[in-house]
Structure 1
Amino acid sequence: MELKTISQVSKAFKVSTRTLRYYEQLGLLKSQKTEEYAYRVYDSEAILCLQQIIILRKLRIPLKQISLIVRNRNASEALEVFRNNFQDISDEITALSTIRSILATFINTLERETEIELKFDLLNDEAILKVIDALTLTKINFKEEKSMKDLSKASEKLSKLTDVRIIYLPPATVAASHYIGEEPEKNSGEALDKFVKESGLCDIKPDLRHFGFNHPNPVDQNSIYGYETWVTIPDDMEVPAPLEKKKFEGGLYAAHMIQMGNFHEWEWLWEWVRSSSDYELNVIEDNGECMYGTMEEHLNYINHIKADIGGSEAMQLDLLIPVKEKNKK
């Protein structure tokens, strides 16, 4: 039985090692540790399972439903999941077809106009307004495809972001927790959570924010890397060792919210910034040591820490890339 290291699997399937570990936390994947390898390894059964997960994710099946399919191995369970998602997609296609029909009506009406001046009388058509009012906002645009190649192309088309926000993060004083080794996000996060609870920070600073980033970034064929976690604190607050007190300079960021585990959407956000007509990258030149100044913000952290909620599929993160307006210093 051939075993693959976590870095080999990550590279072969273009899935981050962090995503693989998250799939394990959800019980979707199982890795092993052997004397031959210092890192986690996957057997052929685990790799086959990962292939199935990747296909289901491209079909826009949520991780929670994928978990039901993978854990139960029950055809009736899978059938129910597929039926529900098929119905959701059918509803979206119906809504999009209606929108397309209305746009065609607008085009035909405008093409018949003898003058170029645009008049919006057609937007007052009661029949059209009733149809528009009945439309529901669609979650995604979906196009039925038949092959894996076409499925991948469809997935790429759907990865173009339309909901990126440009936000300003103010300067702040932070308590920083840094860990290098296995599961650095978990270990650095637990140390910071302990500080937050013991110091009563939630009551002292109810507007606290929680950030994190790789430090250092992982390198090829090496799954060991570091992660640094921050929480904002009052300027005069003391921070116990091994935590460090630091200053965050703040700045302008392109932000995209993801559900915990969807770290592949980092590339979508990078692509949005690269193709933006209004903004450009304003990253730190650190050779990737600290993710070039990019960060992840744990949204609603204060409620999670008060309720003692750990890693969860329901957790939301903001992916943050430093940007600046084009043609401006």
Structure 2
Amino acid sequence: MNLQTITAVTRSFNVSTRTLRYYEQIGLLTSVRRDGYAYRTYDEDSLRRLEQILLLRKLRIPLKDIQVILQSEDARAAISVFQDKVMTLTQEITALSTIRAVLDELLEALKGSAEAAIGLQLLADKSVLQIIESLPSAKFSLKEETGMSDLNAAGDQLSQLKDVRIVYLPPATVASIHCVGGSPEADTGTELRRFMIRTDLARLKPDLRHYGFNHPNGEKPDGSDHGYERWVTIPADLELPEPFVKKEFPGGLYAAHMIPMGNFEEWGWLYKWVKSHGEYELNPGDPACMGGLLEEHLNYLNRYLLSNEELEQCMQLDLLVPVKPKVNAG
């Protein structure tokens, strides 16, 4: 049987080890262990399945729907998912077409107006108002403010990430939990949940925030040197039980982009967005800790009682890249 290591697969498919481990964690993908061979490996069936997963992701099919498709013994599940996706895209295209037509009319009217100061009064025109108000808000569901050409483009256009925010994270005292090897994301998540229950942290710190990051990213093919660290903000005087460690997070400016759990390929998109920005530039941190990159687990205060499996189904993350203003950015 022809087996490929996790390192070889990441290179062949241009996918991160974090993504592969996550796909395994939620049951989308399986690896095999050969006797006398410690590394995580993938056989031909797993590689074909991974190829199908990545193709469906490029079509913007959510992971939960991909799971339904791949678990189905016939084509009916795929037909249902694809029909729903086509309907959603049709609605988006219709809304965008209408928006474009309205904007074209406004442009023509403004260009022909001799008094620029009264130009925006066109928005009060009853006929224009009727067209705009007829657009249901549900039609504006795209995360990016895409145009018609973007809808016909592939993943590179989606990576423009026009919804990125520049946010300030305030300094905070945090409780840190860190594991290396095995399943560090799940292990640290379990420990953090126990800590929050034991200390009643939700009552002590109702504005708590929860961050996580790879520490380290890991280089070994078997993932034994991959780690994950979680922080939760705490009152400065709170006593911590082992193995938690108290740390001071300095805060700072970050480029933020929200994803559903699992869309880790968008890390690359966000990083590229920062690198090409005109006003901000990367402000890297510790290379062993994702270079200062963070994942903020949103609304964790209301979801920490859920199991790891339940969290995977509903959790949203803010991907956070540390930035600073460019010196020559005016």
Report the TM-score, using the length of structure 1 for normalisation: 0.90
Whether 1:41 aligns to 2:75 is: no
Whether 1:271 aligns to 2:272 is: yes
1:28–1:67 CA contact under 8 A, matched in 2 = yes
1:293–1:321 CA contact under 8 A, matched in 2 = yes
Q: Aligned residue for 1:251?
A: 252
Pairwise CA distance, 1:105? 1.4
RMSD in angstroms over aligned alpha carbons? 2.4
2:215–2:290 CA contact under 8 A, matched in 1 = yes
Partners of 2:237 and 2:121 in 1: CA distance: 61
Q: Secondary structure at the match of 1:253?
A: strand
Overall identity of the aligned pairs, in %: 49
Partners of 1:303 and 1:274 in 2: CA distance: 34
Change in CA separation of 1:115 and 1:187 when aligned onto 2, cut-off 3 Å: same
Q: Secondary structure at the match of 2:27?
A: coil
Q: Aligned residue for 2:263?
A: 262
2:179–2:188 CA contact under 8 A, matched in 1 = yes
Pairwise CA distance, 1:142? 8.1
Partners of 1:273 and 1:118 in 2: CA distance: 38
Q: Secondary structure at the match of 1:156?
A: helix
1:65–1:81 CA contact under 8 A, matched in 2 = yes
Whether 1:162 aligns to 2:150 is: no
Structure 1 range deviating more: 56-65 or 192-201: 192-201
AA matched with 1:323: V
Partners of 2:7 and 2:58 in 1: CA distance: 22
Pairwise CA distance, 1:189? 2.3
Equivalent residue for 2:140, pick from 114, 132, 138: 138
Q: Aligned residue for 1:315?
A: 315
Partners of 1:307 and 1:54 in 2: CA distance: 28
Partners of 1:226 and 1:290 in 2: CA distance: 9
Q: Secondary structure at the match of 1:162?
A: coil
Change in CA separation of 1:308 and 1:30 when aligned onto 2, cut-off 3 Å: closer
Change in CA separation of 1:144 and 1:27 when aligned onto 2, cut-off 3 Å: farther
Pairwise CA distance, 1:328? 8.3
1:299–1:317 CA contact under 8 A, matched in 2 = yes
Q: Aligned residue for 2:20?
A: 20
Structure 1 range deviating more: 245-254 or 306-315: 306-315
Q: Aligned residue for 2:177?
A: 177
Pairwise CA distance, 1:91? 1.0
Q: Secondary structure at the match of 1:262?
A: coil
Pairwise CA distance, 1:278? 2.5
Q: Secondary structure at the match of 2:198?
A: helix
Pairwise CA distance, 1:37? 2.7
Partners of 1:328 and 1:308 in 2: CA distance: 48
Pairwise CA distance, 1:297? 0.9
Partners of 2:87 and 2:240 in 1: CA distance: 53
- Superposed counterparts of 1:1-329, under 5 Å: 1-113=1-113, 119-135=119-135, 136=137, 137-140=139-142, 141=146, 154-219=154-219, 221=221, 223=223, 224-284=225-285, 286=286, 288-308=287-307, 310=309, 311-327=311-327
Q: Deviations over 1:257-311 (max 9, x none)?
A: 1100001111121122222222222222x3x211111111111112112344544
Change in CA separation of 1:107 and 1:90 when aligned onto 2, cut-off 3 Å: same
Partners of 1:255 and 1:85 in 2: CA distance: 27
Pairwise CA distance, 1:114? 5.2
Q: Secondary structure at the match of 1:67?
A: helix
1:92–1:142 CA contact under 8 A, matched in 2 = no
Partners of 1:156 and 1:144 in 2: CA distance: 12
Partners of 2:160 and 2:118 in 1: CA distance: 30
1:143–1:154 CA contact under 8 A, matched in 2 = no
2:177–2:230 CA contact under 8 A, matched in 1 = yes
AA matched with 2:88: D
1:89–1:142 CA contact under 8 A, matched in 2 = no
AA matched with 2:47: I
Pairwise CA distance, 1:48? 0.7
- Structure 1's unaligned 5+ residue stretches are none
Partners of 2:233 and 2:45 in 1: CA distance: 43
Q: Secondary structure at the match of 1:139?
A: coil
1:6–1:41 CA contact under 8 A, matched in 2 = yes
Q: Secondary structure at the match of 1:290?
A: helix
Report the TM-score, using the length of structure 2 for normalisation: 0.89
Partners of 2:262 and 2:74 in 1: CA distance: 24
Partners of 1:67 and 1:235 in 2: CA distance: 43
Pairwise CA distance, 1:55? 0.9
- Alignment length (residue pairs): 322
1:296–1:318 CA contact under 8 A, matched in 2 = yes
